[in-house]
Each structure stands twice: as C-alpha cells, then as structure tokens.
Structure 1
Amino acid sequence: MSHILIDFECITKFRIGLFDNHFHEILSYPSRLSNFCKTIRSDESLNLQCQQCDYHSFQHCKSHGHSYVYQCHLGLIEIIVPIKTNSSIIGYLMCGQIFTQNISYENFIRQYPHISSTSVDLKQLKSTLHNKKIVTKDIITSTTRFMNILHITYHMPNTFF
C-alpha cells in the first residue's frame, strides 16, 4: 500500500494517509505534515482544535458512508474517503492540507485573529503562507475521484501491482 500512497503524492503533490476504523493513522506519505499545519500544530490549543476537526470529519464520513470534502477550522481543504468491504467501513484515506484561494498573511491574521495570541511562530507562518500552492476546485474534485479509485485498488489482489 505504501507505494500507492507514494505514487498518489507524486501525481497530486498532496499528503495522503491511511487510517484505521478508529481514525488512527497507520501509514502516510509524506510522513510529515505540511509546513503550514506543522507550524499551526506547534501550539497545543490549535493542535487540539485540529484533532477535533479531524475527528468530527471522520465521524461525518463514517455516518454518511461516502467521501467527504470539507474545510478545516483554518480554511484548508481536506478529503476523507471510506474504505469499505462488504458494505462495512474498515478504514479511511485522508488527503489534505490544501489551499484553494490565495490569502496573504495579513488577511489570514485578520480572518483568524486568535492565531496572534498563540505560541505559533508568526514569522514561520508568514513564510508558509507566502510559499503555498493554490489548487482549483476542479483539482479537488478530481483528487476525490482518484482517491475513490485507490479505495477500489486497495481490495485487488497483490499480484495486480
């Protein structure tokens, strides 16, 4: 499975992770978070908000049983696709940390003023916002479809690859 995640990232340039049915990450590529998320999660309270956002999104995907594209609490797009066998969800693919609009550091701080009162390195945050890649909604849709294909190939015999 790891080579599939590596190939996915090579094509899309998005981080992807495989999660178990209890929302615990089993495998990801790349293994590290994006610079933006790493910077944000360096603050304990923001890290907790990120974890809660992920948890609620996994719950939504689990209860509805299909792909879920959502905006995290800081405006980034993430995608969760359930992995099913015999109509039961056995895990999830999650892709994310995607920007769909260009936002300057100044506008980001205006939109999320509470960031300034945390322990986040604001200089590092400014640098990550300046160097981010912007993605269109069409690419998000295509990525979601591709992730659903990965779900299908996950169940094929190992000899297929």
Structure 2
Amino acid sequence: MVSVFNFEQLQSLLQDFHRISNIRITVFDHNLTELVSYPEQRAPLCQIVRGTEEGMLACAACDRNACAAASKQSGTYIYRCHAGLTEAVIPLYVGNALVGYLLFGHVFAYKSFEEGWDAIQQCCKNYPIDKEKLRKSIYGSPCVSDEYILSAAKILHATASYLVLERMATLKEDSSASKLNRYLNENYTHPLTAQDICAALDIGRTQLYKLSAQLYGCGITQQIKKLRMERAKQLLTDSPNMSIADIACACGYCDYNYFIAVFSQFVGQSPNAFRKKGR
C-alpha cells in the first residue's frame, strides 16, 4: 500500500455522512480493497446478489469500472450498478496521487416500488436467486429522488475533500511513491524523461511504470503532460498579459508550436480559444 489511512477518524467521518444522508458509504484503497464502511452491513439486496458467484463477480467488475470512470473524469461519477441500485464514487487524491476512492451505494433511486422492482428483477434475471426472496429484499426500501442523489453526491465530494485536508489519508513519506510524487511536482516544468526520473529516484523503469499506474492510473509521460496542461490552463486564466510562448516555456515546452498542438489535443481547444473563453 502506498498510502496510510487513519481508520478511527475515517469511521467517525463515515458515521457523520450516514447520519445526514442515510446512505451507506465506503472507503477503498487504490487497489479497490475495502478499508472501512458505515454501516458495515450491506443492503439486503446486495447480500443476496453477492451470495452468488455470478453476482459477486459482477459486483467486483462494477466497482472497478465505476472507479476507473471516476478517475478518468477526476470527479464524482454517479451510476446505476449491475443489480439496479444507484451509487456514486469519487477518487481520493493526495496532491496528484490517487490513494483511494470514496463510494456511497445501495440506493433505491426510483419513483415507485413497482418501477424499481421491474428494473431490479430485469438486472438480476441471470443470477440464481429466488424471485420472491429478491422482492422481499427491497420491499419497504425508501424511494429516493434524483435531486436527493445529486445533493448526496455533492456532500460526498465535500467529504472527500475534508478527508484529504484533515490528512485522514496520506502517502507514506518514506515510500518510493511519495518521492516520485514530490519529484514530479517539483520538476514537471523542466525537460523530463523516464531515464531522468529513474536516475533521480534510484529506481528501475519497471518500478517507475508500476508506481505511475498505482498513483495516477496512467503512464508517467501522460501524468507529466497532465501536470503541464493544468499549469498552462492556470497561467492562461490568471496571467492575461503573459504570452503563449512564455506560457509554453513555463510549462516545460521549448517548442511553441508543439505546445499548441499538445494543449489543443488535451483540452479540446487552442490556448488562445481557452484564454478568450475564460475572460
């Protein structure tokens, strides 16, 4: 594990979230290992579905896909799980390093019991589950509106920010992951190659690529590009008198035209268009 979690503080925070939302919330590490949940017991429907091999595999795949989607958009991802319940997940970042995920789930987000039952039995039709047992597992579930889900997702986002701010999740200070993250943050505006980074941290290329995948969910070159593009967007917005050429140099690009091409591909518009849009 490249991160350290304060379980006592986390447990208290999750209880507070559940107290105001009545929704189960879970913390995963970056490998999708469940660390702590509140309440510990899953919803009856989830217990039944996960009691089958097919359902357990589908749950694991659903979690992986949702966390990957949340990481890709670097924000809260709301979705309906394979069994028909609504969930939301947000990645946890310490600096630029991905250390885990915060997820709420098992929400019966339907306008009526009948609508929910129709959807859930369709979702679970291929699992070896008794239909009446399945129906009883959701009977009496409170119907939750889309507006409620969106509000809960905003609170989830605030909870994730608070969790990191209060250092309930941190990188191991003496770990290679922490050293890599610090090195990139301090040097991404300079010309950097994998060889440079390996030499600076005294690690091999295989370890570097593995650390990058664990920390950032992408290759090392892509992470450097992300850091540079975020810096470029900040300078384009906050420094209106700074030329595009100077911004390119400040972000580690000596070739002005190459910077424009990379920025346009990454952001979806040219630096000039981005700057004008932000005015």
**Given the alignment, which residue of 32, 38, 45 partners 2:41?**
32
- 1:117-148 deviation line (CA, Å, top 9, x unaligned): x4324332111222211111111111111011
Q: TM-score, length-normalised on structure 1? A: 0.87
- How far residue 110 of structure 1 moved from its aligned partner, in angstroms, is 5.9
In structure 2, what is the Cα distance between the partners aligned to 1:96 and 1:112?
Answer: 16
> 1:97 corresponds to which letter in structure 2?
H
- 1:37-88 deviation line (CA, Å, top 9, x unaligned): 1111111112211211111111111222211101112221110011112122
Equivalent residues of 2:121, 2:131 under 8 A apart: no
> 1:42 corresponds to which letter in structure 2?
G
Equivalent residues of 1:61, 1:81 under 8 A apart: yes
1:114 is aligned to 2:137:
no
- 1:10-59 deviation line (CA, Å, top 9, x unaligned): 11111000110111111000112111111111111122112111111111
Equivalent residues of 1:42, 1:120 under 8 A apart: no
The equivalences for 1:11-50 within 5 A come to 11-50=20-59
**Given the alignment, which residue of 75, 89, 108 partners 1:66?**
75
In structure 2, what is the Cα distance between the partners aligned to 1:86 and 1:11?
Answer: 28
Against the structure 1 CA distance between its residues 109 and 91, is the aligned structure 2 distance closer, same or farther, given a 3 Å change threshold? Answer: closer
**What secondary structure sits across from 1:114 in the alignment?**
coil
> 1:107 corresponds to which letter in structure 2?
D
Against the structure 1 CA distance between its residues 89 and 57, is the aligned structure 2 distance closer, same or farther, given a 3 Å change threshold? Answer: same
Higher-RCO chain (CA-CA 8 Å, sequence separation at least 6): 1
Which has more helix, going by share of residues?
2
Any gaps of 5 or more consecutive residues in structure 1? none
> 1:72 corresponds to which letter in structure 2?
C
Q: TM-score, length-normalised on structure 2? A: 0.52
User: Which deviates the most, 105-114 or 83-92?
Assistant: 105-114
The ranges of structure 1 where at least 4 consecutive aligned residues each deviate by more than 6 angstroms after the TM superposition are none
- How far residue 113 of structure 1 moved from its aligned partner, in angstroms, is 6.6
Against the structure 1 CA distance between its residues 88 and 44, is the aligned structure 2 distance closer, same or farther, given a 3 Å change threshold? Answer: same
Equivalent residues of 2:84, 2:119 under 8 A apart: no
Aligned partner of 1:127 in structure 2 is 136
Aligned partner of 2:107 in structure 1 is 98
In structure 2, what is the Cα distance between the partners aligned to 1:52 and 1:34?
Answer: 18
Q: CA-atom RMSD, angstroms?
A: 2.0
Any gaps of 5 or more consecutive residues in structure 2? 1-9, 168-279
